[in-house]
Structure 1
Amino acid sequence: MLKACVLATILCGFFGIILKKNLLMKIVSMDVMSTGVIAFYVLIASQSGLFTPIIADVKNIAYADPAPQAVILTGIVIGFSIQALMLVGVMKLARDNPTLETDEIERNNTP
């Protein structure tokens, strides 16, 4: 059930990117989709029976790999920086255009 909710979040973000015409809504949809992808990785990584890799006296235990945690943290930081860069681009675009609808921007900027 939880996997279905996470996949629905990813699909909502994906269809929002495709179907929405406002640039700010596209950025929000991309953020929703990236949050869903990160939640999916966290859901997959949180399998039961895996322990944190802490030094202990117990031998032969299945430890969780810490490398995916570093990759997910890197993905969060990169996603945040891309979102900030896109918002700056939309701010500069809004200075020249009265609207942020993609159809009208294309219509105003075609020769």
Structure 2
Amino acid sequence: MLEAFVFATILLGFFGVILKKNLVMKIISMDVMSTGVIGYYVVVAARNGLFSPIVDSASRDEVVRPVAYADPVPQAVILTAIVIGLSIQALMLVGVMKLARDNPTLETSEIEKGNTP
């Protein structure tokens, strides 16, 4: 059920990018889609009963029983995706600000009409 909601969030963002004509709404839709992808990754990767992969000196001396440790690499990948998404969103907003200086509107059809040779 949760996977369906996350997948719906991805589709909502995708259709927002395709169907919206305002550039700011396209940027917001891309952020929604990015959040849905990160959420889907978290839902798929979530498991119960995993322990942190931290080994201390006390656990080395005792008899170690096999436990399932969480892999830290997917966590690092998700943090990197969040940072990259934030920086891309900021870059797109700067581009829209530069377009807004030259154009009275942020509608893509109007910008294309004004800049076509």
Give TM-score scaled by structure 1 length.
0.95
1:99 maps to 2:112:
no
- Supply the RMSD in Å over aligned alpha carbons: 1.1
How many Å apart are 1:66 and its aligned residue? Answer: 0.3
Q: Which runs of 4+ in 1 moved over 6 A?
A: none
Number of matched residues? 111
2-structure distance, mates of 1:6, 1:52: 26
2-structure distance, mates of 1:37, 1:59: 36
How many Å apart are 1:42 and its aligned residue? Answer: 1.1
Over the matched positions of the two proteins, sequence identity in percent amounts to 76
Where does residue 87 of structure 1 map in the other structure? Answer: 93
How many Å apart are 1:54 and its aligned residue? Answer: 2.3
What is the letter of the counterpart of residue 46 of structure 1?
A: A
1-structure distance, mates of 2:36, 2:106: 25
Where does residue 36 of structure 1 map in the other structure? Answer: 36
Greater Rg over alpha carbons, structure: 2
How many Å apart are 1:73 and its aligned residue? Answer: 0.3
Gaps of at least 5 residues in structure 2 are: none
1:45 maps to 2:51:
no
What is the letter of the counterpart of residue 21 of structure 2?
A: K
How many Å apart are 1:53 and its aligned residue? Answer: 1.3
Deviation larger for 33-42 or 58-67? 58-67
